[in-house]
Structure 1
């Protein structure tokens, strides 16, 4: 069975949420993580391959959503976490100072709009239409603006059912960051964050696989999910209008074009002198070929912990930055640019043992 087929089967079953690889012999050191569902398929592949090569180590990761992962990291109930929203300054300040914080971008990806229309046509969505759909102001697929952008599609009479995340989500953070950057009305009424004030008529579902499954079973539905989930499950993805006015399909090249303008801050992480701040977002990228919604996604690590676990984590990060990056495009993710990998390789040295 191919990995893509395995992901498809798991996603359709609604169970793509936990990964633990058990080597043939018992592992000496286990590290446990939780957080974003956005990078879960890729992290699962890395963990499996890493554990095969390192029989004395085991990596476990649960996809519980970025918000839950951040809370677990602050509470010290995990050895690492993952988040598409990284951590904000307030969240960083809540981590015990004797543990310390390092935020490492490990891969990148795109947030896409998947939908359920008869025949799965190739749908174009103008910026103003997308905004109105997610403001709850547009509820018919027969809307003249949708028809004008898609003259060759026989649009159904179905009502538009919007599916959104019900959990605290980094995917929501990235998606609403784009919509808020494009529309002041959206920023004021719905907001930008891991959990926002969605219209009450929207249908909630947990994690990326939950939203994907809900869209698939609901005629007329539309919702936002990570590109890799849509790709693995064969769900259609809208062609979105970007800042330059062009309609762009999601994919590796358009994602790279979106992230090309990302500029990392030259400052340290708040409260941690000498620790680089590797948080950056491109909420509305410029560029003719840029897909409009792309993001890095981060691993959250402690600067001080058990030395054996720290070594496993450093080795796992190194694997992800080298051989692991080759898996990214095959699974719908964007490999890190060389300059970003260099920043992460330097910052990962801060992941150490007891203080």
Structure 2
């Protein structure tokens, strides 16, 4: 089931230990989010084809890991789906920049034997399942939402991330926005005290657990769900429409969010720390988030810094064209100049 992602990961590893590394002069080290990992893996591979002097080493162990490693100075970039607060930024040894790369959707995947596509969930139903208030698939609320599905009288197996995860941050940000009881009892963050459920470390492990566990439900970046043939639920959005996660519904949500944030994004010093969940619009999917690369504005090493900036410019100008094939959504064109401005502000020693 995970064959595709395994191949992708193998290719990334090959960049560090294979023949390409024999003539690579510079290794850019990164760590963090699994949310964009399938896409970043392709970017790293394609970029090395353009610049063989660079190779990449990336530890996909969750956003919390990426934040920790970049703050400690152990990597050249940290990848995260959860933006840092002002207080967290103050804890870094230098000024950290949030460079947004793409937009992704967090899908609610499920494995109900005998039930294929078509499951519908409201915010209250989803929050109820993850709070342990709704415990069986044929519960009255779920049955009412899905009259055409013969939902079984089976216990719901709730699956969540056990590591510090940006995907969890987006998912719990959404639940906090749409359900008051969730906001007050559980809240949001890269790690929360889950009321119920089984944990899985990393997106790949979560996908595997859902695929192997009958009557399970979990949340995962849409690329992982689609690549592994998992069914995903249609969620009721702010406009009252049931929408599934895809490139179009993700972009629709992003467009709505950008309308509200235009003034902030176009400021003298762009700040791309935005939440995109629960946006209005009939076509908007409600669980959407940005993902960022965290880099220091003041680079310590001239060569590493120069190569990092070159890569960041490349992914902004060229790599966004690759996003849709892996089910991610590129940044709006109106953001290009502002993101470029952020990248240009990185200072490299001479």
Alignment match, 1:278: 272
Matching of residue 297 in structure 1 with residue 291 in structure 2: yes
What is the CA-CA distance between 1:148 and the residue it aligns to? 1.8
Residue from 22, 30, 40 that aligns with 2:27 = 30
Matching of residue 176 in structure 1 with residue 172 in structure 2: yes
- Between stretches 219-228 and 300-309, larger displacement belongs to 300-309
5 Å matches for 1:50-69? Answer: 50-69=47-66
5 Å matches for 1:148-297? Answer: 148-199=144-195, 201-262=196-257, 263-264=260-261, 275-297=269-291
What is the CA-CA distance between 1:5 and the residue it aligns to? 8.1
What's the TM-score once normalised by structure 2's chain length? 0.92
SS in 2 for 1:82: strand
SS in 2 for 1:289: coil
SS in 2 for 1:154: coil
- The verdict on how the C-alpha distance between 1:55 and 1:18 changes in structure 2, with shifts beyond 3 A counting, is closer
- The verdict on how the C-alpha distance between 1:60 and 1:285 changes in structure 2, with shifts beyond 3 A counting, is same
5 Å matches for 1:131-150? Answer: 131-150=127-146
Greater helix content: 2
Alignment match, 1:111: 106
What is the CA-CA distance between 1:307 and the residue it aligns to? 1.6
Q: Residue 173 of structure 2 contacts residue 277 of structure 2 at CA under 8 Å; is this kept in 1?
A: yes
- The verdict on how the C-alpha distance between 1:17 and 1:157 changes in structure 2, with shifts beyond 3 A counting, is farther
What's the TM-score once normalised by structure 1's chain length? 0.91
What is the CA-CA distance between 1:304 and the residue it aligns to? 1.8
Encode CA deviations 1:135-192: one digit per residue, 9 max, x unaligned. 1110100112212222221212221011011011111111111110111110111111
Q: Residue 285 of structure 1 contacts residue 292 of structure 1 at CA under 8 Å; is this kept in 2?
A: yes
CA RMSD of aligned residues (A): 2.2
**Where does structure 1 differ by over 3 angstroms across 4 or more consecutive aligned residues?**
8-11, 15-20, 263-268
SS in 2 for 1:69: helix
What is the CA-CA distance between 1:10 and the residue it aligns to? 5.5
Q: Residue 63 of structure 2 contacts residue 81 of structure 2 at CA under 8 Å; is this kept in 1?
A: yes
- The verdict on how the C-alpha distance between 1:341 and 1:292 changes in structure 2, with shifts beyond 3 A counting, is same
- Structure 1 unaligned spans of 5+: none
What is the CA-CA distance between 1:261 and the residue it aligns to? 2.1
SS in 2 for 1:260: helix
Encode CA deviations 1:324-350: one digit per residue, 9 max, x unaligned. 111111101011110122211111012
Aligned length: 342
Matching of residue 92 in structure 1 with residue 92 in structure 2: no
- Structure 2 unaligned spans of 5+: none
